[in-house]
Amino acid sequence: MFCPAWDSWRTPMLRTMLSAKIHRAVVTHANVQYQGSITIDSILLKEAGILPGERVQVVDVDNGARLETYVMEGAAGKGDIQMNGAAARLVKVGDRVIIMAFAALTTEELAGFKPRAVFVDDANHVVETRELDFTSQVGQGDC
């Protein structure tokens, strides 16, 4: 359940929460000379609910690099994950990445909200999609 202290806020507050992620995708291309962004297979975007132009955080599982950029839609079904511009210096072809989008939600919107996670194989094809349930964790700890 929710932390009772959250109900005591007198000023409306937005919380930045994970809304979607593509988990452990393999980077297929990197182009430093290209306009800065990340190009993602359109099937993966649709499955995750991530939109072209949306801000994402990319975490490189292999080297620990983290960066923020925006999404460009790639060709459907090719499994392309391409790092463009300066990001191509931080993330290399063959690295595994977690691509995360976030949403600003009110306390009321948190109730029942579940981010979507897309799990892929080595060719970046969808293996499983599921909603993540953090509600059991909310309200524990420092409430």
pLDDT digits (tens, 9 = 90+) for 114-131: 999 999 999 999 999 999
Rounded CA separation 93/128 (Å): 23
For the structural domain made of 15-131, what CATH number should be given?
Answer: 2.40.40.20
Count other Cβ atoms within 10 Å, centred on residue 91.
24
Q: Which of 8, 42, 70, 136 is catalytic?
A: 70
At residue 141, the pLDDT reads 47
Rounded CA separation 114/9 (Å): 23
pLDDT digits (tens, 9 = 90+) for 66-121: 999 999 999 999 999 999 999 999 999 999 999 999 999 998 888 889 999 999 99
Domain ranges of the chain: 15-131
Rounded CA separation 139/143 (Å): 6
Q: Which of 19, 34, 37, 42 is catalytic?
A: 37
pTM (2 d.p.):
0.88
Catalytic site residue 34? no
> If DSSP codes are grouped into helix, strand and coil, which group holds residue 98?
strand
Q: Would you say 44 and 83 are in contact if contact means Cβ atoms under 8 Å apart?
A: no
